[in-house]
Chain A
Amino acid sequence: MKISDTIKSNSVAIIGMSKNAGKTTVLNTIIGEQAHRVLGITSIGRDGESIDVATGTKKPAIYVNSGTIIATAKDLLSVCDITKEILDTTGILTPLGEVIITKAMSSGNIQIAGPSTVEGMQTVCEQLIEYGVELILIDGAINRKSFSVPSLCKEVILCSGASLDNSMHKVVNETFYTAKLLTLKQSHEFEFALNHPSESKYVIFLDCGVSETDSLLAYANCISKTKHRNGIKALQINGAITDSVISPIIENGLRNIGIIGLDSSKFLLSSQSFDNLCALGCTLQPKHEMELIALTVNPYSATGASFNQQKFMEELSKKILPLNIPIFDVQEGTHVF
């Protein structure tokens, strides 16, 4: 089975859990497998290696075929060695210049820095489709603090590897946890909260009504007020859901409530907090659901301490089993379901 067989829709985000997780290799593999289709390539913002990339030293470049349409920052065009046809400007600005839509008139290596906002990404994806792109590949960055996946792209491929941590055990656990967050689904019983439009940061759904506030303190106070504790049905958090946001829930022992967030990219809580929530019967509900279609592994670490490839695959597939997601090692060409 090829990794691109898991792709069902017309756009997929490829997120690396750390640098050197093998994301670019995955991208190049998919590009090779989908050579018969018109591909569009862009990225969400830029991860931390911009300086290195601009000088073209460390990172492997993405290799595209003729006919591919890319959306990248103006300053990176000169390091793209494809023969370029400029199709359009987007008016979307990034630290590396305006995002330009370019068609590859030859094969070649490209460097991508796309829009860093959801609106910008929406615009770019629409334009790519207009120019005839059949499959959009979005290079997504992730660091240990947050994901950067747009709400509009449903399908996600998560790339993990030995570069994340020296301990295989830690890598397996963290990958499992991230995958779990990505696969969270909505449940109907919280539809009332999922569909409630609000501009406030914290929305508390009580038996007697709805309370909204932008202050973390006010939100925490509301939860801890005795008369409210049993009457909270759900929470809507419009912003990052961190441990500080979760701790009032755990401290006050709220049970069986739904916590609505925009999408998995906002679920920044630690796995400990997540487990505590589960123990209370509470669930995280993403407004925009993601579809984790595949996991990839790179047993090689940039720092040298690599994992045993077979053992890594075995450990991860055992842990991931309940999520039922295929795991690929694109370098070796092997996979596990």
Chain B
Amino acid sequence: MFFNHKESESIGLEYIKNSLSCRTPYGRALIRALKPNNNKHIAELIDELDNITLAIDLLKNQADNVSKLENFFSQIRDIKRSIESIPENVLDSVALFEIKRFLLLLQHIVSSVERLNVQFIRIVIPPCIDALNLINPDKSNAASFHISDVYSKKLSTIRKHKHEIEASILSAKTEQVIEQLKIERLKIVEAEFDEELKIRQYLSEELAEHKEEILLAIHSIGRLDFILQKARLAILHNAVKPVIASDDVLEFDSMRNPYFNSILKAKKRNFVPISIALQPGTTVITGANMGGKSMAIKTLALNVSLAMCGFFVFADKAILPIIEHICLIAQDYESVSSGLSSFGGEILKLKHELKHINAHSLMLFDEFAKGTNPEEGAQIVRALVKFLNTQKAFSVIATHYNGATIHAKKHYRVAGLKAFFDKGFEGNSDNGLEVIASNMDYGLYEAPTNSDCPTEAKYISRFLLQGEEVLEYILNETD
């Protein structure tokens, strides 16, 4: 239902995930396990977005206090597995040490959060005092852990005995006596180990009574860590809170993609924000080939999925319903090993995705059926447009085939090179590609549904092939 790694990378979701730096292992686990909320959890989604708003406010007005909290976060090590393993498993001293360290840190975190004086929605961090007292019996709050005599009088006696024998070994005169004492000591060592084991069993069982509480603390810390990162991300990119409505409206104003932006910036170009408004049924995007359509589709995929995962989105405004299922058919699915052609792969994926299509689906197609002959391809895309119009899902098809737009509910066009070519050709064809790329307008504009694809190929040929013999042939064919 959610993207695979390749898809996630191509739309810029991996870029966003990699830019988040959670301080706790629990926050990091949440990033890795990123998945969208669905209709059953719409309240949770809204809470998460509201929490981000609170966090943004904190980051702006209480940066120091948040810093202190995050410092404590950085010191947290992962004890989840130890906690989950009890009471079936008996914890060893190192695990008990780590749990004690966590619970001591927890106290600092709880008071740190209190100092922030903000009420996060449905995030509770229980201080687990009883659990702490269990493994901190002398209340020393020392950073170290040992199986204390306090737990058992018998242990105290054994250890005294051990100490006496060790003193005897030190002051012994002959090898024989030493050997004898060492054998005796070994018996005491065994007794100590057995008694310590009993205590560890006891502690493991008692701690298990507080298992739920501790796991809740762990979960809440992870969520809070994650929320702070999402808030940072939102501030960095001027992201906006998406409005989750139940209407049949999916609309973005000036939508952006930080991933594509970083790529384009490296080439000294800019990503043009895209505005799009969808309704159930099919929307078609046309435009000549230079990536604009693809970027639009993928940016939509990125922002919708982020919204569904409880992130602010990269736009000036966003309204959308709960989307449970995003279908993205935008890769080359050719597979020599399974004997699949590009088109075969696409059709197979489509079949699979159609099993899940419903009113909460977003179906995205980037140049569907491009890997087959243009006549059939155009027919198939037209058919797909018509079929998806009968569905309640939101569908967007980007295509360079003619005849698709006339059946669509809406038509958007990538501006492309029209303005450039209308001006007349400037610059020479030596750095032609550079010139073309820098004059591409990637912006999306609404166009009438009966208008066809622009014939940019001819113009691009004329520009890049200036003075070449083959150009004459091309112009003869196209005119």
Closest to B98 in A: A89
Known contacts A105-B146, A106-B159: does B166 contact A89 (CB below 8 Å)?
no
Question: How many chain A residues touch the partner (CB < 8 A)?
Answer: 18
User: By DSSP majority rule, is chain B's interface helix, strand, loop, or mixed?
Assistant: helix
B94, B143, B163: the one contacting A74 at CB < 8 Å is B94
Q: Which of A278-293 contact B (CB under 8 A)?
A: none
> Is residue B162 contacting chain A, with contact meaning CB distance below 8 A?
yes
A81, A86, A107, A108: the one contacting B97 at CB < 8 Å is A86
> Is residue A100 contacting chain B, with contact meaning CB distance below 8 A?
yes
Known contacts A77-B94, A100-B94: does B146 contact A85 (CB below 8 Å)?
yes
Q: Which residues of B contact A89 (CB under 8 A)?
A: 77, 94, 97-98
> Is residue B151 contacting chain A, with contact meaning CB distance below 8 A?
no
> Is residue A324 contacting chain B, with contact meaning CB distance below 8 A?
no
Known contacts A89-B77, A106-B159, A106-B162: does B144 contact A81 (CB below 8 Å)?
no
| Least distance between A104 CB and chain B CB atoms (Å) | 11
Residues A86 and B94 in contact, CB atoms below 8 Å apart? yes
Contact with A along B72-112 (1 / 0, CB 8 A): 00000100000000000000111011100000000000000
> Is residue A103 contacting chain B, with contact meaning CB distance below 8 A?
yes
| Least distance between B142 CB and chain A CB atoms (Å) | 9
Q: Which residues of B contact A78 (CB under 8 A)?
A: 92
Known contacts A106-B162, A106-B163: does B144 contact A87 (CB below 8 Å)?
yes
Some 14 contacts from A to B, beta carbons below 8 A apart, are A78-B92, A83-B146, A83-B192, A84-B146, A86-B96, A86-B97, A86-B144, A86-B145, A87-B143, A87-B144, A89-B97, A100-B94, A107-B166, A107-B169
Q: Which residues of B contact A100 (CB under 8 A)?
A: 94
> Is residue B113 contacting chain A, with contact meaning CB distance below 8 A?
no
Residues A81 and B189 in contact, CB atoms below 8 Å apart? yes
With A and B bound together, what is the CA distance between A16 and B98 in angstroms?
A: 35
Contact with B along A90-101 (1 / 0, CB 8 A): 000000001010
Of A86, A87, A98, which is in contact with the most chain B CB atoms at under 10 Å from its CB?
Answer: A86
Q: Which residues of A contact B145 (CB under 8 A)?
A: 85-86
With A and B bound together, what is the CA distance between A78 and B189 in angstroms?
A: 11
With A and B bound together, what is the CA distance between A88 and B434 in angstroms?
A: 58
Q: Which residues of B contact A98 (CB under 8 A)?
A: 94
Closest to A131 in B: B144
A77, A83, A85: the one contacting B162 at CB < 8 Å is A83
Q: Which of B157-187 contact A (CB under 8 A)?
A: 159, 162-163, 166, 169, 186
User: By DSSP majority rule, is chain A's interface helix, strand, loop, or mixed?
Assistant: strand
Known contacts A74-B94, A89-B94, A100-B94: does B146 contact A108 (CB below 8 Å)?
no
Known contacts A74-B94, A100-B94: does B146 contact A86 (CB below 8 Å)?
yes
| Least distance between A97 CB and chain B CB atoms (Å) | 9
B binding-site residues for A, Cβ under 8 Å: 77, 92-94, 96-98, 143-146, 159, 162-163, 166, 169, 186, 189, 192-193
A81, A83, A88: the one contacting B159 at CB < 8 Å is A83
| Least distance between A65 CB and chain B CB atoms (Å) | 9
Closest to B145 in A: A86
Of B94, B169, B189, which is in contact with the most chain A CB atoms at under 10 Å from its CB?
Answer: B94
With A and B bound together, what is the CA distance between A98 and B97 in angstroms?
A: 14
Closest to A109 in B: B189
Q: Which residues of A contact B163 (CB under 8 A)?
A: 106
Q: Which residues of A contact B186 (CB under 8 A)?
A: 81
Residues B189 and A103 in contact, CB atoms below 8 Å apart? no
Q: Which residues of A contact B159 (CB under 8 A)?
A: 83, 106
Known contacts A106-B159, A106-B162, A108-B189: does B93 contact A86 (CB below 8 Å)?
yes
Residues A85 and B144 in contact, CB atoms below 8 Å apart? yes
Q: Which residues of A contact B189 (CB under 8 A)?
A: 81, 108
Q: A87-B144, A88-B143 are in contact. List 6 more A-B contacts (CB 8 A).
A: A81-B189, A86-B144, A86-B146, A88-B144, A89-B97, A98-B94
Known contacts A86-B146, A103-B144: does B166 contact A77 (CB below 8 Å)?
no
Q: Which residues of A contact B77 (CB under 8 A)?
A: 89
| Least distance between A227 CB and chain B CB atoms (Å) | 45
B92, B96, B97, B166: the one contacting A106 at CB < 8 Å is B166
| Least distance between B133 CB and chain A CB atoms (Å) | 19
With A and B bound together, what is the CA distance between A237 and B94 in angstroms?
A: 42
Q: Which residues of A contact B162 (CB under 8 A)?
A: 83, 106
| Least distance between B363 CB and chain A CB atoms (Å) | 47
Contact with B along A69-83 (1 / 0, CB 8 A): 000001001100101
With A and B bound together, what is the CA distance between A221 and B92 in angstroms?
A: 58
Of B77, B144, B193, which is in contact with the most chain A CB atoms at under 10 Å from its CB?
Answer: B144
A77, A106, A108: the one contacting B93 at CB < 8 Å is A77
Q: Which residues of A contact B93 (CB under 8 A)?
A: 77, 84, 86
| Least distance between B153 CB and chain A CB atoms (Å) | 16
Which 8 pairs from chain A and chain B are nearest by CB?
A: A85-B146, A86-B97, A107-B166, A81-B189, A87-B144, A86-B145, A85-B144, A86-B93
Closest to A107 in B: B166
With A and B bound together, what is the CA distance between A74 and B145 in angstroms?
A: 15
Closest to A35 in B: B170
Q: Which residues of B contact A105 (CB under 8 A)?
A: 146
| Least distance between A128 CB and chain B CB atoms (Å) | 14
Q: Which residues of B contact A106 (CB under 8 A)?
A: 159, 162-163, 166
Q: Which residues of B contact A103 (CB under 8 A)?
A: 144
With A and B bound together, what is the CA distance between A84 and B193 in angstroms?
A: 11
| Least distance between A161 CB and chain B CB atoms (Å) | 21
Closest to B189 in A: A81
With A and B bound together, what is the CA distance between A100 and B96 in angstroms?
A: 13
Q: Which residues of A contact B143 (CB under 8 A)?
A: 87-88
Q: Which residues of A contact B92 (CB under 8 A)?
A: 77-78
Q: Which residues of A contact B97 (CB under 8 A)?
A: 86, 89
Q: Which residues of A contact B169 (CB under 8 A)?
A: 107
